[in-house]
């Protein structure tokens, strides 16, 4: 199964932005680091136009979060769109 097949992928960045900034599209958001996971949620940070954006992605199982977190760590520097095309199966 590809990551883009997970319900609600790609996630949207959280938080508020100043009116002078815009949220990145999934093709513009570049994975910078993973903050960690907690139960069924993995939190990661992407960068766009010199600004960091925090993403919380909730999925249906702890096992899926573990797999996703492993794939994210292996793909720092890629866009959310590119990551969505990766396989999350064993």
**Proportion of the chain above pLDDT 70, given as a percent:** 84
How far apart CA 42 and CA 14 sit, in angstroms, is 13
The parent domain of residue 41 ranges over 3-14+23-84
State the pLDDT confidence band at 45, using cuts at 50, 70 and 90: very high
State the pLDDT confidence band at 24, using cuts at 50, 70 and 90: low
- Looking at the structure of the chain, the number of domains it has is 1
Residue 29 domain-assigned? yes
Residue 74 domain-assigned? yes
State the pLDDT confidence band at 72, using cuts at 50, 70 and 90: very high
Residue 78 domain-assigned? yes
Residue 89 domain-assigned? no
Residue 90 domain-assigned? no
DSSP-assigned states of every residue in 40-67: TEEEEEEEETTEEEEEEEE-S-HHHHHH
Answer with the residue of higher pLDDT: 21 or 73. Answer: 73
Residue 79 domain-assigned? yes
Residue 53 domain-assigned? yes
């Amino acid at each position: 199964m590809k990551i883009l097949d997970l319900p609600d992928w790609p996630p949207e960045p959280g938080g508020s932005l100043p009116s002078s900034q815009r949220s990145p599209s999934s093709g513009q958001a570049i994975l910078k680091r993973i903050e960690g996971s907690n139960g069924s949620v993995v939190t990661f940070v992407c960068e766009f136009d010199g600004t960091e954006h925090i993403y919380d992605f909730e999925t249906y199982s702890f096992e899926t979060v573990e797999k996703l977190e492993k794939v994210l760590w292996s793909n720092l520097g890629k866009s959310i769109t590119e990551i969505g095309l990766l396989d999350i199966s064993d």
